Amino acid sequence: MGCSALTYDTIIAADCITLRPTTIDFLKKFAERGGRFIIMGELPSMSGGEVSADATALSEIAECIPFGKAEILEKIRPDVLIQNADGTRTDDLLFTRRRCEGYDWLFITHADPTRLPHITERREITVTADGMYIPEVYDTLCGEVLKADCTVSGGRTKMNFALCNSDSLLIKLTPTDEEYSHGKSTEPPFEREIILPSQVDIIPSEPNVLLLDRADFYLDGQLICTDEEMLRADNAIREKLGFDKRETKVVQPWAVADEPENHTVRMVFVVHSDIACTGARIALENGAKADIRLNGVEVSAEADGYYVDKYIATRPLPPIVRGENLLEVSVPFGVRTDLENSFVLGDFGCECVGDRVRIIQKRGAAYYGTLTNQGYPFYGGNVTYRTEFELEGKSDVRITASYWRGAFVKVRLDGKAIGNIAFAPHELTARDISGGKHTIEFEVFGNRYNTFSALHNLSADKPRVYIGPAYWRSRGDNWSYEYNLRDFGLLKKPTLFLR
């Protein structure tokens, strides 16, 4: 039966008490043309906000059943059946089947996000599709096409899969008139474990980051607030000037009338450092407008690059001395001006304890576990862990990195990339590796959460529909001056197994 460009064999109305007159008319014509119409649960009885005889009459041309899973499955048997190893139907997987010219596509995925992504939950499932097909599994991550473990006979195609908690399946079903079967290949198990050293060399892909979001703020020479967070100070300055605050329903600056920036805001940051440091840079938005001084020394106005975004320009800083450093940043201010955090970039370590931050000596080696307390609390780039292991002879090596925080992990063996780890089962296999010493690297691809997110919002991890200005401006029990950081890096030592 047709509706627009789509065709339907069956239409189900589930607990539809009220229906539009046009829908009632369509359902009547659908049933008259031989379409199957099923009503689950409450019977239609109203239309246009009134009791309707036409709506009530639909029950006379429909199959009426209670609202329940068992009842609808008795009426309609899906052309794909997915079962657990014990024969019960799965209740946490979704599928869709699309018919194309000459073949079908079958896609299977989990209904809900995985709860503990670092723990591999492996299960055996059986997928039975009506019709006789040669099934091929398309690996959408690496592009490989593999034959499925299957039995094709009696008008059905039965496929067996091992499914992990992050997996989905994309299966191409090519029709066949002949019975067909393909078994699952088996390999010897991995048995002997190599224990990697606990200490590991780390190589960041970009300079380290010291976040600057606390300062003394002056408006046209008058002290407004002391040791305040950037956006709270922005609110105080706007309130002083009678400007709207940027914390609720705001428009972008380019949608505001072009008014002159005829005020000056001076921010005085205290940069604490345990070491003398040269070659550092400051990164800030609208840096061309800023007058910057470090310990009274004027900073060059010429940008030498950018950080993350081309609008966050970098400028070289004079030497940072051991102890307290006064970093002064003065910017013109108007109704369109946005005060944003700044950053010091350099070849140093950084320490964040509570609401205090400081520059420390850089560590050349680290331990597995979050890097936020190993000198990189605000770092958002990639970081490579480099270590060595030794083989007595040629072996296959299964490499597992299951507990990490970042985007994904790229694995290199002796300098050559051998694959990425992003989902369960969090493992790769390197085959026929020669005996002797080898270097293995795990590059964790970073994210910018600890650099740019709402680090003072105590419910920042709460699932939300959208993120707006208020996300960075929490209040009351939902606010803290202490930094609320997320773990980053390899949180658990990877494992190597041989066969």
253-274 pLDDT per residue, tens: 677 777 889 999 999 999 999 9
Contact in structure between 449 and 424 (CB atoms under 8 Å):
no
Q: Strand order in 169-175's β-sheet?
A: 93-100, 103-110, 169-175, 133-138, 145-147
pLDDT more than 90, % of the chain? 82
At position 8, the amino acid (one-letter code) is: Y
pLDDT computed for residue 5 by the predictor: 60
Average pLDDT, the chain: 93
- Confidence at 114, pLDDT banded by 50, 70, 90: confident
* Amino acid 245: pLDDT: 85
**pLDDT given at position 116:** 84
Residues 6+ apart with CB under 8 A from 214: 227, 228, 229, 230, 269, 355, 481
> Does residue 117 carry a pLDDT above 90?
no
Q: What is the pLDDT of residues 303-341, one digit of tens each?
A: 999 999 999 999 999 999 999 999 999 999 998 888 999
Lowest mean pLDDT: which of 167-171, 320-324, 398-402, 465-469? Answer: 465-469
pLDDT (tens digit per residue) in 40-95: 999 999 999 999 999 999 999 999 999 998 888 888 878 899 999 999 999 999 99
Do 62 and 38 meet the contact criterion of CB atoms below 8 Å apart? yes
pLDDT at 76: 84
Rounded CA-CA distance 447/451 in Å is 8
Q: How far apart are CA 445 and CA 382, in angstroms?
A: 4
On the CB side of 423, CA atoms within 13 Å amount to 12
Cβ(483)–Cβ(449) below 8 Å:
no
pLDDT band at 365 (very low <50, low <70, confident <90, very high): confident
Where does 205-339 show beta strands of DSSP type E? 208-212, 214-219, 222-229, 263-273, 281-285, 291-294, 297-298, 305-307, 309-316, 323-333
Phi-psi region of 143 (alpha: psi -120 to 50; beta: other; left: phi over 0): left
Q: What is the pLDDT of residue 2?
A: 47
Segment 477-498 shows an average pLDDT of: 96
Distance of alpha carbon 289 from alpha carbon 337, whole angstroms: 11
What is the chain's alpha carbon radius of gyration, rounded to the nearest angstrom? 31
pLDDT one-digit tens code per residue, 227-260: 999 999 999 999 999 988 887 666 666 777 778 8
pLDDT score of 443: 98
Q: In what helix (H) or strand (E) does residue 25 lie, and over which residues does it extend? A: helix 21-32
CA–CA separation, 385 vs 199, rounded Å?
10
Secondary element (H or E) of residue 391: strand 383-391
Q: What is the mean pLDDT of residues 269-292?
A: 95
Rounded Cα gap, residues 94 and 343, in angstroms: 45
Alpha helices in 369-494 (DSSP H): 449-452
In the structure, what pLDDT confidence band is assigned to residue 4 with cuts at 50, 70 and 90?
Answer: low
Compute the distance between CA of residue 387 and CA of residue 438 in angstroms, rounded to an integer. Answer: 9
